[in-house]
Structure 1
Amino acid sequence: MLPDDNRIIDVRFDEQGLLLRQTDGRVLALPIADTSPLHKATPEQRREWVLTEDGRGMNWPALWPLAPDGMVSVWAIEQDALYEHALARLQQVHRDLSALPPDERELVALWRMEAGINNGGFMQFFCNWGEETCHLAIEALGRVGAQGTRQCLNDMLNVAAHYGETEEMVSLSDLPGMLPPDERDRPYALDQAFWKYPESLAKAVVRHYAPRVASHTG
């Protein structure tokens, strides 16, 4: 079954969290975080959910604004599973990224990109993982068709090229000051553009990699 065909057909709550039954018979069990509006919602409010257009996400309009893929999204859950698989394989090869097959290398690079930029911005990602991983993530974004995110990351890398002009050891917070004056706001602007997610990256990643990983492991 292709990812797009596997929809949510039943939703239940239990003491642990949320249970989503899908077309293929699988049930996804999701804990509800203490910070989630669902944690404090009444039973009546919890029942007031609506499915996204593709049937693979859920929104609660009375609790928070509608999200295209849903505030609970099967796309995001399946993307996380792909990332976890790739990271587990990386551990098995003693963190030697070059020892992984191409699909798994790209998934690791995409995970590093999202984790790094969402946690501390592009420069945190770049300083933690370097130019090679950045280029690998750019290639992967092109492969999955996430052209808006790819352009954003490519622009970030072009800005980072200015930082290679000095051999001084500086802290991450000092790096923007090393740019020309008219470029100093550029890193934050690009981070903001990335955080808006120009397209559904989870959907693009799952559509491209899920069938490929399944064919390798099945």
Structure 2
Amino acid sequence: MTSFSDISSALRIERVTLGADSLQLTLANGSEHNQPYRMHSVLEKATDVQRTQWVLVDGGCGIAWPALVPPDEVGLINTLDLAWEASYDAAMALLKQADWQLEALPSREQDLCALWRLEADMNNGGFLQFFGNWGEANCRIAMAALQKMGAHQALAIVQRQRDIVQRLEDDPRMQSMQDIYGLLTEAESDELDELDHAFWAYPDRLAPLGLACYGWGDMASPVPERG
């Protein structure tokens, strides 16, 4: 596992070049990354002068525009997040090549694909969407990956949600995942909702933990179609 210090040092922003349609980040490891303004509505709508008013945050890995967006510790664009997304994209591209057969991939790529599915579905519709779409096997891989990364708070959230759903597995009324919504008690539904919100707050910042554990892909790679 690579240390966070090594990761942040390699991905620190050394130079920002503003173009007509995008900005280019030159990183400490010598790599370059173009970020189109259209990916961030505030930058797309900003004037040329406003775009020049950036500051570095997060140890030089994040870039913020305080006049456009209230700054936080991560920034509007962060190279740690971009590198983590690139790791996901590379793994998902391999999954597509394997005809979406997760078990056909090496364990590292299985972990990354399971984590991508967890993050994507949790952020879109919550745990029940994730578990309903991908099932027990994918959930188990994602949880093991969170443990491996040291994302203990995120793991505890997902584990508790899994425990709530597991109660219903032996219920004869449950014939499909769609039945779960009617079988949950009101208290269980409320707890699942609270846990979804807790996950969305990202008590563990997954990008640096994931990069230290799994490394990263080419940040300039195109995003593959996802199934």
TM-score normalized by structure 2?
Answer: 0.85
Supply the distance in 1 between the matched residues of 2:20 and 2:55 (Cα, whole angstroms).
21
Alignment of 1:202 onto 2:207: yes
Supply the distance in 2 between the matched residues of 1:94 and 1:61 (Cα, whole angstroms).
44
- SS at structure 1 position matched to 2:88: helix
- For 1:158, which of 136, 154, 163 is the aligned residue? 163
Q: Which has the higher contact order (CA 8 A, sep 6+)?
A: 2
- For 1:167, which of 146, 170, 174 is the aligned residue? 174
Alignment of 1:98 onto 2:106: no
Supply the distance in 2 between the matched residues of 1:82 and 1:44 (Cα, whole angstroms).
33
Could you say what the CA RMSD is over the residues aligned between the two structures, in angstroms? 2.1
Match of 2:174, as an amino acid? Answer: E
* Corresponding position of 1:121: 126
Match of 1:146, as an amino acid? Answer: A
Supply the distance in 1 between the matched residues of 2:176 and 2:136 (Cα, whole angstroms).
17
* Corresponding position of 2:117: 112
Q: 1:95 to 1:203 in 2, by over 3 A?
A: same
* Corresponding position of 1:3: 7
Q: 1:65 to 1:159 in 2, by over 3 A?
A: farther
Equivalent residues of 2:95, 2:101 under 8 A apart:
yes
Match of 1:154, as an amino acid? Answer: Q
| Unaligned 5+ runs, structure 2 | 219-227
* 1:161 Cα offset (Å): 1.8
Q: Number of paired residues?
A: 211
Equivalent residues of 1:162, 1:179 under 8 A apart:
no
Alignment of 1:21 onto 2:26: yes
TM-score normalized by structure 1?
Answer: 0.88
* 1:159 Cα offset (Å): 1.6
Match of 2:75, as an amino acid? Answer: G
Supply the distance in 1 between the matched residues of 2:40 and 2:101 (Cα, whole angstroms).
36
The alignment-based identity, stated in percent, is 36
